[in-house]
Amino acid sequence: MASTTLASNTEIDLVEKPGLNKRKDSGNGLIEPQPQLQESSNGDANMETTERVPDSATTEIPSPGSAKDTGDQVRVVELSEYKAAARCLAEAFESDAVGRYFVDTPGTKDWTPEQKWELHLFMMEVITYCHIAQGMVTTIGPDYGGVALWMPPNSADMNLMTFLRSGMWRLYYRLCREGRKRFFTEFMPLLHDIKAHTLGDRDASSWYLVYIGTKPAARGKGYARKLVDHVTCQADRDGRATYLESSNVANLPFYRRLGFKECRKLYLQRSEEVVELDIMVREPKGKEE
Ligand SMILES: CC(C)(COP(=O)(O)OP(=O)(O)OC[C@H]1O[C@@H](n2cnc3c(N)ncnc32)[C@H](O)[C@@H]1OP(=O)(O)O)[C@@H](O)C(=O)NCCC(=O)NCCS
* Domain ranges within the chain, ordered by starting residue: 37-216
Q: Residue range 228-240: average pLDDT? A: 97
The pLDDT, as a whole number, for residue 158 is 86
Q: Give pLDDT tens digits for 56-80.
A: 334 455 555 544 556 789 999 999 9
Name the residue with higher pLDDT: 272 or 41. Answer: 272
Q: Which atom of ligand 1 is nearest to the CA of 244?
A: 48
pLDDT, averaged across the chain? 82
- Identify which of 263, 30, 22, 34 has the alpha carbon closest to the alpha carbon of residue 161: 34
Q: Give pLDDT tens digits for 76-114.
A: 999 999 999 999 999 999 999 999 999 999 999 999 999
- Identify which of 162, 146, 124, 123 has the alpha carbon closest to the alpha carbon of residue 33: 162
Cα 213 to averaged position of ligand 1 atoms, centre (Å): 9
How confident is residue 164, by pLDDT bands cut at 50, 70 and 90?
Answer: very high
Residues 6+ apart with CB under 8 A from 139: 74, 75, 77, 81, 85, 88, 145, 146, 147, 148, 227
Q: Give pLDDT tens digits for 267-288.
A: 999 999 999 999 999 999 977 7
Distance CA 205, CA 153 (A): 5
Cα 219 to averaged position of ligand 1 atoms, centre (Å): 7
Confidence check: pLDDT of 240 > 90: yes
The pLDDT, as a whole number, for residue 25 is 33
Q: Exposure of 6 by Cβ count < 10 A (0-12 exposed, 13-18 middle, 19+ buried)?
A: buried
Q: Whose CA is nearest to atom 13 of ligand 1?
A: 222
Is residue 225 in contact with ligand 1, taking CB distance under 6 Å? yes
Q: Positive or negative CA dihedral for 253, 254, 258, 259? A: negative
Is residue 92 in contact with ligand 1, taking CB distance under 6 Å? yes
- The three-point CA angle 179-101-157 to 5° equals 70
Q: Give pLDDT tens digits for 180-215.
A: 999 999 999 999 999 999 999 999 999 999 999 999
Q: Whose CA is nearest to atom 4 of ligand 1?
A: 224
Is residue 227 in contact with ligand 1, taking CB distance under 6 Å? no
Is residue 252 in contact with ligand 1, taking CB distance under 6 Å? no
Task: Among 150, 254, 281, name the best residue to mutate to test ligand 1's pocket (greatest count of ligand atoms within 8 A of Cβ).
Answer: 254
Is residue 146 in contact with ligand 1, taking CB distance under 6 Å? yes
The pLDDT, as a whole number, for residue 40 is 36
Is residue 212 in contact with ligand 1, taking CB distance under 6 Å? yes
The pLDDT, as a whole number, for residue 135 is 97
Confidence check: pLDDT of 16 > 90: no
SS3 string, the chain, reads CCCCCECCCCCCCCCCCCCCCCCCCCCCCCCCCCCCEEECCCCCEEECCCCCCCCCCCCCCCCCCCCCCCCCCCEECCHHHHHHHHHHHHHHCCCCHHHHHHHCCHHHCCCCHHHHHHHHHHHHHHHHHHHHHHCEEEEECCCCCEEEEEECCCCCCECHHHHHHHCHHHHHHHCCHHHHHHHHHHHHHHHHHHHHHHHHHHCCCCEEEEEEEECHHHCCCCHHHHHHHHHHHHHHHHCCCEEEEECCHHHHHHHHHCCEEEEEEEEECCCCCCEEEEEEEECCCCCCC
